[in-house]
């Protein structure tokens, strides 16, 4: 069910959510979190698809916040809130979606619009697919959340953005550049368990200015106690990690993106 509301209020949006759930025969909320997605009109479609996919695994109320900027100075001075409520729709998964379009001065007070729509007694997660603030916890919308998700890879200068996040880090801040390393870290850890002796050198190969590669290099350096060499390649993203051990070189290579191979000292490479 979809309900369009024009020039509305947070109170009317809450009423529309209750009405939609009752019409569908699902009055119980049963959501595990509120996912607050802050984006613009250009990227709203992709962000909503990703959020809807996550709601199929973790039923959530998704609040998509879009600040609209009018070309007309007169219309920019007008304050208006439009909303689209989706309950039981295909893209909502097992949750609810509220698309909020904020015009004029309302866009400067998005936190006041969002606050009455947060589910009680469940965590709030804020996600900026693009254009994340340098200090997410200090952002008015980020201050409402217990977990704040950013993506350095989507910024203009990924490595500089990561450095800014480090300076302003607050518990609860998470960047997707780190989560993208999960398979790399688990693969390397499992491979090292099969190779005796300490690691003497390390090389991380990737495209230029890849934030995940920078984090991986620093993680390896901290865990292994070695200097990690960074090698720039044509990509995509991380293309190889090479670890020098007493028994020989251990390498994980992914030159073309989706397929990777693991080579242990004295053994032929095998696909992963």
Q: What gap in Å lies between CA 104 and CA 69, rounded to an integer?
A: 7
pLDDT of residue 223: 94
Percent of the chain with pLDDT over 70: 93
What is the predicted pLDDT for the residue at 197?
A: 84
pLDDT 10s digits, 171-192: 999 999 999 999 999 999 999 9
pLDDT under 70 in the chain at which residues? 26-29, 70-77, 89-94
Q: Which of 47, 28, 45, 46 has the alpha carbon at shortest distance from 36?
A: 47
| Residue 99, pLDDT score | 96
What pLDDT does 74 receive? Answer: 62
Rounded to two decimals, the pTM is: 0.88
- The predicted structure's pLDDT at residue 76: 62
């Amino acid at each position: 069910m979809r309900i369009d509301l024009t020039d509305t209020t947070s109170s009317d949006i809450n009423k529309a959510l209750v009405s939609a759930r009752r019409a569908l025969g699902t009055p119980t909320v049963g959501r595990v979190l509120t996912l607050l997605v802050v984006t613009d009109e250009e990227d709203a479609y992709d962000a909503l698809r990703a959020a809807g996919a996550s709601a199929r695994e973790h039923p959530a109320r998704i609040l998509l916040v879009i600040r609209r900027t009018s070309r007309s100075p007169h219309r920019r001075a007008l304050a208006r809130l439009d909303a689209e409520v989706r309950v039981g729709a295909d893209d909502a998964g097992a949750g609810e979606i509220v698309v909020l379009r904020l015009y004029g001065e309302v866009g400067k007070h998005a936190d006041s619009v969002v606050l009455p729509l947060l589910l009680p007694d469940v965590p709030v997660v804020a996600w900026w697919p693009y254009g994340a603030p340098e200090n997410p916890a200090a952002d008015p919308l980020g201050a409402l959340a217990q977990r704040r998700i950013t993506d350095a890879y989507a910024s203009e200068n990924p490595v500089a953005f990561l450095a800014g996040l480090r300076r302003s880090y607050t518990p609860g801040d998470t960047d997707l550049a780190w989560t993208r390393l999960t398979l790399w870290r688990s693969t390397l850890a499992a491979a090292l368990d099969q190779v005796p002796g300490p690691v003497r050198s390390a090389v991380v190969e990737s495209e230029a200015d890849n934030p995940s590669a920078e984090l991986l290099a620093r993680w390896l350096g901290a865990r292994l106690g070695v200097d990690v060499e960074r090698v720039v390649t044509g990509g995509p993203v991380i293309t190889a990690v090479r670890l020098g051990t007493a028994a020989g070189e251990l390498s994980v290579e992914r030159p073309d993106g989706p397929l990777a191979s693991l080579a242990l000292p004295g053994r032929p490479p095998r696909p992963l």
